[in-house]
A and B are shown apart, each in its own frame.
Chain A
Amino acid sequence: KAGVTQTPRYLIKTRGQQVTLSCSPISGHRSVSWYQQTPGQGLQFLFEYFSETQRNKGNFPGRFSGRQFSNSRSEMNVSTLELGDSALYLCASSLGGSSRNQPQHFGDGTRLSIL
């Protein structure tokens, strides 16, 4: 079974630009979550999508947004990029049902560098 796939793996942008990152979850998984990882703040939750609806959101500004498609694939967008947005962006998928007994599985992330 294929794991969580994130594209691209690496990305370089300049301040003020916008970026779109893509995540393909494990087949059959309906929940997709996004996390930002930086050396200073560690792993922080951005948002989670389930059945094309945002179900939970972390404490990030509105420049960070996302969406989920009917096939459960998800994208996240960051507009007006700032230097502080340089980070590893991780996507995780899970079955997303009501049981707590289902682990999330992570992709290897997209490393975004802002110049």
Chain B
Amino acid sequence: DAKTTQPPSMDCAEGRAANLPCNHSTISGNEYVYWYRQIHSQGPQYIIHGLKNNETNEMASLIITEDRKSSTLILPHATLRDTAVYYCIFTPNFGNEKLTFGTGTRLTIIP
């Protein structure tokens, strides 16, 4: 199964940008990087995904290095509601919807 490495926990001050790193050195050329987050007692929430270009949506920005071995999720102005566990994962192969979740990063936004 595809493996990603994330720091177990991070803190960020409210209103500041939260930058969450992820290493995925074994990613293959046509695999997407996806980010999800899980707030306590809820299901994982899709945030953003990308292949090799940087991506931005209403929730976050995704920066993928040129060699695609790592990426950073950026929450531009963190709020208390962004406190959650953030997961960085690869997409599965064609016709295989299995997602392999690691332990993620527990992000705490501090008032």
Q: Would B43 and A55 count as touching, CB distance under 8 A?
A: no
Given contacts A100-B91, A103-B49, contact A45 B44 (CB under 8 A): no
A94 to B95 Cα, complex, angstroms: 11
Closest to A44 in B: B101
- The prevalent SS among residues of A at the interface is strand
Residues of B within 8 A of A108 (CB): 41-43
A98 to B91, CA, bound (A): 12
In the complex, the chain B residue whose C-beta lies closest to that of A48 is: B97
Contact of A100 among B31, B98, B101 (CB under 8 A): B31
Q: Which residues of A contact B102 (CB under 8 A)?
A: 42
Q: How far is the CB of B66 from chain A (nearest CB, A)?
A: 20
New A-B pairs, 12, CB < 8 Å, besides A42-B103, A48-B97, A48-B98:
A33-B98, A43-B99, A50-B95, A55-B97, A90-B43, A90-B44, A100-B30, A100-B31, A100-B32, A100-B92, A106-B36, A109-B43
Q: How many A-B residue pairs have CB under 8 A?
A: 66
Contact A104 B45 (CB under 8 A): no
Per-position binary interface string of chain A over residues 42-65, scored 1 when its CB falls under 8 Å from any chain B CB and 0 otherwise: 110100101000011010000000
Q: Residue B100 at the A interface, CB < 8 A?
A: yes
Q: Which residue of B lies closest to A101 (CB)?
A: B32
Q: What are 17 residue pairs bridging A and B, where the CB atoms are less than 8 Å apart in the complex?
A: A4-B43, A33-B97, A33-B98, A35-B99, A43-B99, A45-B100, A48-B98, A56-B96, A90-B43, A92-B99, A94-B97, A98-B95, A101-B51, A103-B46, A104-B97, A106-B46, A109-B43
- A31: interface (CB < 8 Å): yes
